Amino acid sequence: MTRIIRKLLATLIIATAFFTSASSQPKHEVRAVWLTTIGGIDWPHSYAQSVWSIEKQKDELRSILDRLEKAGINTVLLQTRIRGTVIYPSNIEPWDGCLSGFPGKSPDYDALRFAIDECHKRGMEAHAWIVTMPVGKWDALGCKRLRSKMPGNIIKIKADGYMNPESAQTANYLADICEEVTRGYDIDGIHLDYIRYPENLPKLKKLNPSVARENITRIVRTISKRVKTLKPWVKMSCSPIGKYDNTSRYWSHGWDAYNTVYQDAVAWLRDGLMDEVFPMMYFRDNNFFPFALDWKEQSHGRIVVPGLGIYFMSPREKDWPLTDITRQLFFLRDIGMGHAYFRSKFFTDNTKGIYDFATNEYGTYPSLIPPMTWAKAASPKKPYDLTFTTQKDGAMRMTWQHQVKDTTMMLFNVYSSTSYPVDTKDARNLVAIRRQARSLLIPSEKGRHYAVTATDRYGNESLALQEAYTAYTSAPQQSPDLLKCDGRILQVPDEVMLTDAQYLLVETMQGAAVATLPYKRLSTTVNITSIPNGIYHLRTLNRKGRSHRLGTFIVKRI
């Protein structure tokens, strides 16, 4: 199919994409958020100035990540270098003030290490978002330090400072920062932001475009080589301008990556300098759909994840309706692309209902990151020695082994279904992803089967280790008593009052979440009129994501 014909079909795809079934969720799909730290606008909203306030700041991030995990997010782009300042103890740049409240002052903990660990506990990738060229207000700490460190290499544009995109010093300095992060942290990616010419650079119009593009590419090449030499599995990515170039049918309106700010992101993908790009596609209608398709066509087999401007749904911005975003999401899934939300707070605040939509309709099952087969294609060995042990509380613990002993280099995915063997190609059977621990606590449930796969840091997955057919199903089981339900009101068992439940989770017999219902302390009933006829499990859910099964109930209305 020619490129022009595909463009002509775009309108048809747009018209039908909204009606794509949410049940046809892919097993591999990037679902990302940008988590901004500048000024604490996404996190943190309080300062770390004591033991108590440090824990409060940490708890806030845990709560954010809990909500992201529940919504199926698998990639967090965490702003790590802000404006010539950072959120970790660096030998190169000073602390940003977002953590302690004072620029240059330590919050007395390593926020980057903490965030990476918390993301990994939840099966999420953590990417260090590095703001490259802008270094803040001319007299702010980050800019002042850089002006002193590299005189003549910082350009003043109005009130702000920028690193010189034409200088080898800039390339080497930014590579030093990315190397420091890569060497010191178990990061999954280095994400370059504003890796381009400032649009207000005084001599911009006099530049030779090909020379300007090579200047930016030289910086990207220098950073990529430094990172990949240390850890070749760490993803290199960037957030280019949302439109790569004019297409054959649509004009970019003078604002695109290739011609305006000299980002040749397609070449970076083609030449292996980037594994992934997150174009900032904060547009609607014909300014979005054909340009997203253009990125897809020129991806060179790499990962392209359009960034969605969900902040435009805010009444303080452009007051977009939710349907503008949901149409984009269904379109992207239809053409095999992931998505990234800008920004995290607009997502977790449920602006126009986007969080509810993502949680209950669009991302009801987990998804894995597409593997980096261009870097490494070989699958790892599968796990071995799968065992099940009954716990004192009646739950079961499944454990397994793997020949790779380093728990940071080999991760595991767990699948479950009521059919045997478990189909590991079906995303609906995923129950845990990118798990570092080699065990998992599972409910005692007759007739449910499990399988485990290993996945390396490139995302390549092994063959499945299926449980022996009699190993788990032969364990002593008790059929739970049915909870009382008249089709409208569900009787909640008394034991829930002994827990710290904030929600009641309703799941199908296959383990798919159907609804999350708020739970009021000491309540004995809950309204289930929104739940269709069927047989369901009822579970508790607390603020930390811990869950306990309460029983089974039937909704049957005439």
- pLDDT tens per residue across span 477-524: 333 457 888 888 888 887 776 677 788 888 876 667 788 888 877 778
Cα–chain-centroid distance for residue 383? 26
- pLDDT at position 541 is 80
How far apart are the C-alpha atoms of 290 and 437, rounded to whole Å? 43
User: For the packed helices 322-334 and 3-17, what is the interaxial angle rounded to 10 degrees?
Assistant: 130
Residue for token digits 């209305």? 557
How far apart are the C-alpha atoms of 146 and 84, rounded to whole Å? 7
Residue 453: both structure tokens together: 């796969």
Measure the CA dihedral 143/146/147/151, to 10°.
-160
- pLDDT at position 529 is 83
Q: Given the DSSP bridges, would you call strands 534-541 and 503-508 parallel, antiparallel or unpaired? A: antiparallel
- pLDDT at position 422 is 94
Q: For the chain, which domains are there?
A: 31-130+165-362 (3.20.20.80), 384-466 (2.60.40.10), 489-555 (2.60.40)
- pLDDT at position 193 is 98
Residues of the chain whose pLDDT is less than 70?
Answer: 1-23, 202-205, 469-481, 497-498, 509-511, 544-545, 558
Number of neighbours of residue 106 by Cβ within 10 angstroms = 15
72 close to 30: Cβ distance less than 8 angstroms: no
- pLDDT tens per residue across span 73-98: 999 999 999 999 999 999 999 999 99
Which residues, 6 or more positions from 474, have their beta carbon under 8 angstroms from its beta carbon? none
- pLDDT at position 481 is 55
pTM over 0.75: yes
Q: Give bridge partners of residue 442 from the DSSP assignment.
A: 396
